[in-house]
Amino acid sequence: MKKVAIGIDIGGTNSLVGFVDESGKVFLEASMSTLIGDTFEEYLDALYATVTEAQASSDEEFEIIGIGVGAPNGNYYKGTIEFAPNLKWKGVIRVAHLMGQKFGVPAVLTNDANAAAIGEMLFGGAKGMKNFIIITLGTGLGSGIVVNGELVYGHDGFAGELGHVIVQKGGRLCGCGRRGCLETYASATGIKRTAFEVIADRNQETILSKYSYDDLTSFKLYEAAQNGDHLAREIFRETGKVLGEALADFVASSSPEAIFLFGGLANAGELILEPTEKSMEENLLHIFKNKVKLKISSLDEGNAAVVGAAALAWKEFKS
């Protein structure tokens, strides 16, 4: 029987499931709506049915060593999702406990960025690294910090909130209620905000002027820049500048071997990597200059969260 861990990625809208072996290979994949049912217990019943069904449809037999869950506001120590603004369940949900009970195998949970960090460490570009940071550039900015080969969870399980480091006093309003957080500048949403600021400031010809705020995406900015739109290229440079300055500060704290960029905005590749690296190097304290590798994550964005969550289960439950 093939030994696998079940990786589960709980998103605001969809939940993805995958059976992942010790090398990171994905065997079965399934998805369902996160919005099913009124309570977490009803959602869990549906999830269990989805997994059982997927298993039944396969010719192969699997031995499940455990479950890893990645979820927004996931707390590793407690196995809970706590007050997640983007999920429908309110308050504190004992996800790992309930998941373990339902499936009859041990379960462990962390937030999505930490899951990506563990995926990168076990199956991706951070293999063999003991000290690195992953920055996820999606709707917001998430981060997973690895020190001495271990995820930094901190005293309460909520460490690694680099998206909420203040990079501009009195700057842009953040969803957290404060102003000037890094994620309001460096994320798929942040670059869109920069775009609107730059367009407003310049009032000059650009492909971008035809998009509403609702329509503009980091992918459309990428396309515009690839097509030679000067303003779009400048918007990437400006975003990389702010991100690079922040990364230089993070290096002063944990001195990582590498920093990986992942997700939405990171898909722009060199367009975001090059100005970020330039800005980081310019701002690094001299003892850190030309030491830190800045890379795009080698994980497949389609199932990275599932693979990362499964990696966590492999890390915890491998006997």
Where does this chain bind a second copy (CB under 8 A)?
130-131, 145, 147-148, 150, 152-162, 164-166, 169, 176-178, 245, 248-250, 252-257, 283, 285-288, 291-292
User: ∠ CA(214), CA(116), CA(36), 5° rounding?
Assistant: 60
Contact 290, 281 (CB under 8 A): yes
State the nearest-atom distance from the C-beta of 158 to a second copy, in Å.
Answer: 5
Among 273, 271, 218, 276, CA closest to 247: 276
State the nearest-atom distance from the C-beta of 81 to a second copy, in Å.
Answer: 13
Query: From residue 219, how far is each of 46, 231, 269 by CA, in Å?
Result: 33, 15, 11
Of 154 and 302, the one with the shorter C-beta distance to a second copy is 154
Among 154, 130, 95, CA closest to 309: 95
Q: How far apart are CA 123 and CA 76, in angstroms?
A: 20
Please state whether 202 falls in left (phi above 0), alpha (psi between -120 and 50) or beta.
alpha
State the nearest-atom distance from the C-beta of 247 to a second copy, in Å.
Answer: 12
State the nearest-atom distance from the C-beta of 259 to a second copy, in Å.
Answer: 11
State the nearest-atom distance from the C-beta of 154 to a second copy, in Å.
Answer: 2
